[in-house]
Chains A and B, each alone.
Chain A
Amino acid sequence: MPTVLTYSQAYREGVAEEMAANEKIFIMGTDIVLRGGHFAQVFGLGEQFGASRVRDVPISEAAMLAAGVGSAVCGMRPIVDLNFLDFSFGGMDEICNQAAKMSYMFGIQVPLLIRATNGIALGGAQHNNVIESWFAELPGLNVVTPSNPADVKGLIKSSLRMNDPVLFLMHKALSGLRGNVGGPDDVIPLGHANISRSGDDVTIVTYGVNVAKCLEAAERLAADGIEAEVIDLRTLYPLDRETVVESVRKTGRAMMVDESAAYGGVSAEIVASMQEAAFDYLDAAVVRITAPHAPVPNSPALLSAILPNSAAIEAAARKLVEVA
């Protein structure tokens, strides 16, 4: 019988399995021992593994990330839990200038995993920056953005076996999402997109929280005979361009749904990849549905106005397939 867990619990289970298998893995984060992090993402692991391997840190992002980099190059496999990706700003140098560069410059492995929540939810502008594209474009970093519990577990397990830095980004709005997860040996390698739904009429590329919205739209489209292919990128770096391009060559029509702004966002890279590799196959210009180039508001009334939703995705897809 398959195990059903939430998105958060899937992370905890994956981490616990890997920690049991490899004593070099340890976790640093604020309020991590008793509370299990701000999303209870490792609740119980403090008790299970003890205060050395699950350790509370002061609110010192630079130091916790430096502790991660330094310990990673000296034999350990740290997980630095930032809670919110926005808090990376306090330790940006350690991520981008130290961890990301060592493999290239020195041939040194840096098995550092940085876990954070990403994406847009309530809480206002300072807790909801959508910046995964920043890290994805910086050479030397891997960026993982799972959309469901099974992928969380399979991807955290492979991420914890990587020898290079990984940002493991879990969307806030998905924390309570329930679903089947794999067993201890079910590992999902980085760089493999998932075709969440097959279809011949239009390609919809997305990741994270928007996968479910795209699938919702696809079901309504299917009722009218429009078959959308929904591609969940799963990891933004490495990026599975092949799966994306192959789909576009099949459907000839494509769109990208993304919470990062269109300007320099993930969608910009996807659209560029499509036109580079599949220009002659495209029957229409690629459409982007993204959040606007603006800070994120707090009020739900304002928030709903800026987020991609399944109705907008559906409408855009219909328009796209109508292009001659």
Chain B
Amino acid sequence: MSTSDLAEESSVAAPSAMAPPPEVLREWLGAMLTIRRFETECVRLSFAGKIPGGIHSSEGQEGVAVGSIRALTRDDVVSGTHRSHHHALAKGLSLRVVMAELFGRDDGLSGGRGGSMHLVDRSLNFLGSNGIVGAGLGIAMGASLAMQMQQQPFVAVGYFGDGGANNGRVWESINMAAIWKLPLIAICENNLYAVETHISNSMAGESIAARASGFGLPAVTVDGQDVVAVYQATREARERAIAGEGPTFIEAQTYRYEGHNVGDVQNYREKDEVAQWRAERDPIARMRKRLVDDAMLDDAQYAALEVAAEESVADAIAYADASPWPTGADALTTYPTNV
């Protein structure tokens, strides 16, 4: 694995919620920068024809993935959505191997069998991006059932979006987790748009979190553009789950800067709206300012984080580009690392 990957080194739980030390906070910032660089490059490479099948960019949502996954250990399971590069990279998947998978190459995570919406690394307990709305939460719920039955001190996090919050399987899974008190953390990344439908046109009731509270589990709303707030909410949820107190629902209010997919012309929203989110609520800019204000980061350190992000993504692209195409015979074989 490349040294630039974002994996945490140990299975020990992350530092205390209230005051993560400066080096930890800088690592979070670096992780967000790396994800952003990865995503902006993916958009470019999709237009350039390097990424067959395209991608769903998570640019703008980095704070949700880094904040929540930094509250987990390696043994905790993460299961995501069609927009999950940020989850995958925050969970520590190799930039090189993910990029090679996006390129459809032999050295990719699944040797080209998966692609952007089918990224799984069992060894890191990343149970995947997922092409079907709401399905990733169900898998996380099932994983949390296995943890409970095997009396393992782990949790499973399942992500879905505001679109998924209108899908029946999401609430079936949340109900089941609630009745069985499963160690599940359900995180709704509410980025306001399900493809191009604004939540105001698709969502009855007060809020997504309010819906969830009807299932009798703690349901909190956090600012998804505040990585520390997401971390704290997830950490509390994890502690509750480990203590046997059951699942937690977190609605993280966030925003995607790109369209639904690469090539989305985005005539459903004003450019000003995107610009305003970028200018006022960007998770990276806010974290940078916070660290500078608290004298935990100087310009040289920030520049170094930016360079590291650019270099690691460039390295991943070079790796992917150099990787051979799989042979046609590989199409009929199962991915060969049964674990």
A residues touching B (Cβ–Cβ < 8 Å)?
26, 52, 57-58, 60, 62-76, 93-94, 97-98, 101-109, 163
Contact = CB atoms under 8 A, between A and B. Distances in A.
A67 B142 contact: yes
Given A63-B176, A66-B141, A73-B122, 13 more contacts: A57-B176, A60-B172, A65-B138, A70-B127, A70-B141, A71-B145, A71-B146, A73-B143, A74-B77, A74-B146, A74-B150, A93-B132, A97-B132
Contacts of A57: 176
A69 B337 CA distance: 19
Which are the 10 A-B pairs with shortest beta-carbon distances? A70-B142, A66-B138, A63-B172, A74-B146, A62-B169, A60-B172, A107-B335, A71-B146, A106-B120, A70-B143
Nearest to B115: A105
A71 B339 contact: no
A62 B139 contact: no
B307 to A, nearest CB: 34
Given A107-B334, A107-B336, A108-B339, A66 B169 contact: yes
Interface string B144-161: 111101100000100000
Contacts of B173: 60, 62-63, 66-67
A98 B131 CA distance: 9
B143 A71 contact: yes
Nearest to A57: B176
A100 to B, nearest CB: 12
A63 B122 CA distance: 22
A97 B127 contact: no
B118 A94 contact: no
Main secondary structure on A side of the interface with B: helix
Nearest to A103: B334
A105 B114 contact: yes
A62 B142 contact: no
Most buried by A among B139, B147, B334: B139
Contacts of A103: 334-335, 338
Contact of A73 (B132, B139, B169, B334): B139
A76 B144 CA distance: 11
A62 B176 CA distance: 11
Contacts of A52: 149
A108 B120 contact: yes
A70 B110 contact: no
B242 interface: no
A302 to B, nearest CB: 34
A66 B139 CA distance: 5
Contacts of B135: 66, 93-94, 97-98
Nearest to B118: A105
Contacts of A163: 338
A124 B142 CA distance: 33
Contacts, number: 131
Contacts of A68: 142
A63 B146 contact: no
Contact of B147 (A74, A102, A104): A74
B338 A94 contact: no
Contacts of B130: 98
A74 B130 CA distance: 17
A65 B334 CA distance: 23
B335 A105 contact: yes
A108 B338 CA distance: 5
20 contacts: A26-B149, A52-B149, A57-B176, A60-B172, A62-B138, A67-B138, A67-B176, A69-B142, A70-B79, A70-B138, A70-B143, A70-B145, A76-B150, A94-B169, A98-B138, A101-B118, A105-B118, A106-B122, A109-B338, A163-B338
Contacts of B168: 62
Interface string B88-124: 0000000000000000000000100110001010100
Residue of B110, B168, B335 with highest tally of chain A CB at under 10 A: B335
Contacts of A75: 146, 150
A67 B179 CA distance: 13
A26 B149 CA distance: 10
B335 A104 contact: yes
A93 B169 contact: yes
B185 interface: no
A164 to B, nearest CB: 10
B305 interface: no
A22 B276 CA distance: 57
B149 A69 contact: no
B185 to A, nearest CB: 14
B72 interface: no
B145 A67 contact: yes
Contacts of B132: 93, 97-98
A224 B258 CA distance: 76
B176 A58 contact: yes
B177 to A, nearest CB: 9
Nearest to A98: B135
Contacts of A102: 120
A60 B175 contact: yes
Nearest to B174: A63
Contacts of A71: 142-143, 145-146, 149
Given A105-B114, A107-B339, A76 B139 contact: no
Contacts of B176: 57-58, 60, 63-64, 67
Contacts of B128: 106
Given A58-B179, A63-B169, A97 B146 contact: no
B108 to A, nearest CB: 11
A91 B231 CA distance: 33
A105 B156 CA distance: 21
Nearest to A63: B172
A61 to B, nearest CB: 8
A318 B171 CA distance: 57
B317 interface: no
Contacts of B336: 107
B140 interface: yes
A317 B283 CA distance: 74
A104 B111 CA distance: 11
Nearest to A164: B334
